[in-house]
Structure 1
Amino acid sequence: MKRILFLAGACAMLLLAAPTRSHAQTTTTPATTTKPPQDKSKRPSPPATASATVGGTKVMIEYSQPSVKGREIFGVLEPYGKVWRTGANEATTFMVSKDVKINGQALPAGTYGLFSIPGKDEWTIIFNKTAKQWGAYEYDEKQDALRVKVKPTTLKQPVERFTITAANSGKVTMQWATTGVEFTVK
């Protein structure tokens, strides 16, 4: 009887130990399979930052810079009337450290996805509550914190790489190809 109990106990211990060894073998991965973080500066549309301090408020814009590369941009590559991520890769982010007014309209402090809807005669600049997203693929209009209308201008000199600048005066300028738009932060 003791022998049967001993064998039953030994079998039970082997059964309990077997999944542990098997699990350890299947979850071990060689160090060579770990990918290093992507160097975003090597992308075709590299990252860029525009920042300013407007009346004690920090303004920070993080975006990626696509290039014209001989293409027709607004109205073709970026269609009129469609939401654009306002750059390339991840959606552009717009951060303000304090409550501000954008072209006279209130925007609370925070970080926003900066989208736009290009138009031939008018653009809509959008500050969306969902800041971290890829492109505009999951853009949700219900998450808009603010929309402002601006008039585009034709640039005297074409700009090859999409560029955003922010001045301490509060003027934010976006330029690409032969088009420029701007808004003010106060």
Structure 2
Amino acid sequence: MRKSRIIASAICALMMLLSNSINAQKFPDLDKSPLDAAWFPNDYKDANKTVRVLYSRPQLKGRSLSELAPNGKVWRTGANEAAEINFYTDMYLGKTKIKAGVYTLYTIPGEKEWTVIINKDKNVWGAYTYNAKNDVARLNIPVTIADDYIDAFAMVFTKTDKEIVLNLGWDKMRVAIPFTK
């Protein structure tokens, strides 16, 4: 009887040791540029979305905007993966029709205007493999300068009488990208 208790205790200890090593997963720390989303309509209770954008939010943390999103160079419009924009219905950027679907949102920052690019490539890290041949739409948008400062890059959709506007904000820079149905 005593021998079977010792064996049972040894088996139990071995099982605990094995289960601890199986469950001891190494999870990554919080990303320095966390993933975020903006969608329209903005109300989370409204499941009938028109458009959604997924992007990571880089932070200036004392650096300049032009250091992280250089003027004249294609930018992923955020950090990490290139921003992904999903149109749930056909939309227009300027006069160019964009069919419902998933696309990559790139921008080319500039001092006075930004070029907005909708590209058919998907699952892209950064802008390293950007291919202009896959552009679906481009539009130059004037830059405005705000009074308030935003440290973490942000996007939000707003609505006007005729447009759904994707607003980009970082530092004091603002860009309002108009989409129409």
In the superposition, the TM-score normalised over structure 1's length comes to 0.74
Aligned to 2:53: 61
Aligned to 2:171: 177
Q: How big is the alpha-carbon RMSD for the aligned residues of Structure 1 and Structure 2?
A: 2.2
Alpha carbons of 1:38 and 1:96: their partners in 2 closer, same or farther (altered >3 Å)? farther
Q: Gaps (5+ residues) in structure 1?
A: 1-30
Q: Percent identity?
A: 33
Structure 1 segments of 4+ aligned residues over 4 angstroms from their partners: 34-39
In the superposition, the TM-score normalised over structure 2's length comes to 0.76
Confirm whether residue 52 of structure 1 aligns to residue 43 of structure 2: no
Alpha carbons of 1:37 and 1:93: their partners in 2 closer, same or farther (altered >3 Å)? farther
Residue 153 of structure 1 deviates from its aligned partner by: 0.8
Q: Gaps (5+ residues) in structure 2?
A: 1-20, 43-47
**Cα pair 2:39 2:49 within 8 Å, conserved:** no
Residue 123 of structure 1 deviates from its aligned partner by: 0.9
**Secondary structure of 2:169 counterpart:** strand
Residue-pair matches, total: 152
Residue 38 of structure 1 deviates from its aligned partner by: 5.2
Instruction: Decide which structure has greater strand share.
Output: 2
Deviations 1:36-89 (A, max 9, x none): 6757xx1000010000039x6620000000011011112x33211100000001
Confirm whether residue 161 of structure 1 aligns to residue 144 of structure 2: no
Aligned to 1:145: 136
Aligned to 1:24: none
Deviations 1:157-177 (A, max 9, x none): 111110000124411100001
Give the Cα separation in 1 of the matches to 2:89 and 2:134. 20
Query: Where do 1:1-186 residues align within 5 Å?
Result: 42-53=30-41, 58-74=50-66, 76-169=67-160, 170-186=164-180
Give the Cα separation in 1 of the matches to 2:173 and 2:105. 18
**One-letter amino acid of the counterpart of residue 51, structure 1:** W
